[in-house]
Amino acid sequence: MRALRDGALMACAVLAGLLGACGGDAGASCGPTSARVAQVLDGDTVVLEGGERVRYLLADTPERTGAGGDCFGPEAYAFNRGLVEGRRVTLEYGEACEDRFGRLLAYVSVEGREVNTLLVERGHACVLHVPPAGRSRRAEFESLQARARLEGRGIWGACTPVPCLR
């Protein structure tokens, strides 16, 4: 009986190790699940205190830099900064951990409010889906964008052409 119990314990240990190695909890293995935002780079990208750069999933804001910046870029930056800079946020990861630039891809929340959805529903961002990241929530974000566009919120009322649709 003891051999059977020891064998079962060994099997559980091996299985737990394999699940960890294979990304059994992929979201947790991408990066921190909670951190303080050290710097806001633009409307859709932040730097955490640990130095990790985080790109918001499914939200693409106009650029605030470059040749005068894009229409509504400064507003999207200010909105994001007001929500998260210096604050503790929670991060939830999607189907991919990083983008091609090595930034973490996440849904970022502050005080129970998800910044990604706020940006899209208030017209500060367009939906950007780069498969596979964000596949599970793409339709939800496209619905938020359609409503913001219909109601002329943010970029949808202020910009012609809308910068993130170019």
CA dist., res. 138 & res. 13, Å (int) = 37
CA dist., res. 27 & res. 8, Å (int) = 28
DSSP 87: S
pLDDT of residue 7: 44
> 48: which strand partners?
37
Which sequence positions are flagged as catalytic?
55, 63, 103
Mean pLDDT score across all residues of the chain: 86
pLDDT of residue 26: 44
- Please, which pLDDT band fits residue 24 given cuts at 50, 70 and 90? very low
pLDDT > 50? residue 45: yes
Structure tokens that stand for 141 in this block: 């974000």
Is the Cβ–Cβ distance between 57 and 134 less than 8 Å? yes
- Please, which pLDDT band fits residue 64 given cuts at 50, 70 and 90? confident
Angle, vertex CA 154, rays to CA 153 and CA 156, nearest 5: 70
Cis peptide before 131 (omega within 30 of 0): no
Interval 68-111: pLDDT, tens: 679 999 999 999 999 999 999 999 999 999 999 999 999 999 99
- Please, which pLDDT band fits residue 28 given cuts at 50, 70 and 90? low
